[in-house]
Structure 1
Amino acid sequence: MKLLIIEDERKLSDSIVAYLGGEKYLCEQASTFDEAKMKVGMYDYDCILLDLMLPGGNGLDILREIRRRHNPAGVIIVSAKDSLDDKVKGLEIGADDYLAKPFHLAELSMRIYAVIRRREFSANNILRDNGIEIDLLDKSVKVNGVAVTLTKSEYELLLFFIGNKNRVVSKSAMAEHLSGEMADMMDSHDFVYTHIKNLKAKLSVAGCKDCIRNVYGMGYKWTEP
């Protein structure tokens, strides 16, 4: 899962990244209004943590831009401005949650999880598809009741495929999902093929065959076997 932390307090932003990185989230940062606006316009995120007081502008304007683009990312406002007006305004514009500073990082992590689960997986902790059972809290995977050990990248790809079921997903979209903005600086996205090959092999051995299909010249698609 890929997150964007929009926060101008660098120490706080870095501590959030360190903690959520340990929770296996891919985190990117923006510290100014202009940088944040650029990133939400160029990249896709599963959840965005949004401070309201930013150098160069108001975080609520970033939120308006996100929703104007019909961007499906979850948004959690994280701000010291703990006034009722700010909270109501943010929720009216389209924020999913509001967390006042100071806060515990463990609580922030659970808020993020709740927003992603609600938006992408119909509020379920257990995701089932094609004989696959994914425990979103434990980040564990079973196929036909048998545990399958996946790497972080393979697990993220599996969720990405299921979340985009029956849609063709390009290799560049998968590269961005796995590596974030670093994907723009890569000469090749061949590493994506390696992860797909390994994921398909592990699922196939466990009894889930032909779920990931190559669509020639376009990308890959998760389908019913």
Structure 2
Amino acid sequence: MKILIIEDDPSLQEIIKKSLEKERYVVETADNYQAALLKLDDYDYDCILLDIMLPGGSGLQILESLKKERRKENVIIISAKDSWEDKVAGLDLGADDYLAKPFHLAELNARIKSVIRRNNHGGEQLITLDNIEVNPSTFEVKVDQQPVDLSRKEYDILLYFINRPNRLINKQTLAESVWGDHIDQVDNFDFIYAQIKNLRKKLKEAGAGPEIKAVYGIGYKLITNN
């Protein structure tokens, strides 16, 4: 899961970033309005933490732009402006949640998980696809109720695919989502092939129904039996 923090306070930004990285999220940051727009023009995210007051513009303008473009990112507004007008404006523009500063990091993490679970998985705690079961809270994977031991990146790749079954995923998009935005500067994506090769082997040995198929020259697709 990849998160973008749009926050101009460097100390708060760093505290949130480190906290979320401990939760195994891929985290990117922007500290002003223009930097945020550049990030959002170039990359996709699973969740955006959005401050309202930003140098160069308003977080509400960013939110309005996201919704006009029909972007699918989950958005949680984090702002010291706790007036009901700002809260209503943000929610009316399509924000998924609103958290007033100061807040506890544990609450922020819980809000992120709740929003992603509600919008991506119909509120379910577990993600299931055929006979594969993934628990994002514990990072556990099971096939036919039997645990499958995956490395962190193997797990991250599987989670990305299981949220997008039967969709063709470009190699660069996958790399950016699992390793971070700056991965687009690498010369090739051979490291992805090695990780997916190991993941496919483990899933096959476990008897998983869905299978990751390579699409020559483009990327990969998680094919289901249904």
What is the TM-score of this pair, normalised by structure 1?
A: 0.97
Note the 1:39-54 alignment, pairs <5 A: 39-54=39-54
Quickly say closer, same or farther: Cα 1:100–1:210, change in 2 above 3 A: closer
Distance 2:67 2:180 in 1: 21
Q: Which amino acid aligns with 1:103?
A: F
1:11 is aligned to 11
Contact 2:129 2:210 in 1 (8 A): no
Tell me which residue corresponds to 2:63. Answer: 63
Deviation at 1:209, TM superposition (A): 5.6
Letter of the aligned partner of 1:182 in structure 2? H
Asked whether 1:110 is paired with 2:104, we answer no
* Aligned equivalent of 2:20: 20
Q: What stretches of structure 2 of length at least 5 have no aligned partner?
A: none
Partner Cα distance (2:51, 2:210) in 1: 43
Deviation at 1:117, TM superposition (A): 1.0
Q: CA deviation at 1:136?
A: 2.0
Q: Match for 2:151: what amino acid? A: T
Q: CA deviation at 1:159?
A: 1.4
SS of the residue 1:71 aligns to: coil
Whole-Å separation in 2 of the counterparts to 1:214 and 1:130: 20
Q: CA deviation at 1:130?
A: 2.4
Quote how far apart the aligned CAs of 1:90 are.
0.3
Per-residue displacement from partner, 1:168-215 (whole Å, max 9, x unpaired)?
111111111112211221111111111111110111111116611112
Match of 1:201 in 2: 201
1:81 alignment partner, SS class = coil
State the identity as a percent.
48
Report SS of the residue matched to 1:17. Answer: helix
Deviations 1:99-152 (A, max 9, x none): 000000000001001111112111110111121111122111111111111122
2:79 and 2:101 in contact (8 A); partners too = yes
**Alpha-carbon distance between aligned partners in 1 of 2:155 and 2:76, rounded to the nearest angstrom:** 24
Aligned-CA RMSD value? 1.1
Q: Paired residue for 2:212?
A: 212
TM superposition score normalised by structure 2: 0.96
SS at match of 2:180: helix
- Give the distance between the partners of 1:195 and 1:70, measured in 2 at CA: 32
Which whole-Å CA distance do the structure 2 matches of 1:10 and 1:205 have between them? 46
Question: Is 1:190 matched up with 2:194?
Answer: no
1:217 Cα offset (Å): 2.6
Structure 1 range deviating more: 145-154 or 55-64: 145-154
Structure 2 letter corresponding to 1:218: I
Letter in 2 for 1:106: A
Amino acid at match of 2:98: Y
- 1:99 corresponds in structure 2 to 99
Structure 2 letter corresponding to 1:23: E
Structure 1 equivalent of residue 35 of structure 2: 35
Sort the Cα spacing of 1:186 and 1:58 in 2 relative to 1 into closer, same or farther, 3 A: same
Match of 1:177 in 2: 177
Give the aligned length. 225
Question: Do the aligned residues in 2 keep the contact of 1:200 with 1:209 (CA within 8 Å)?
Answer: no
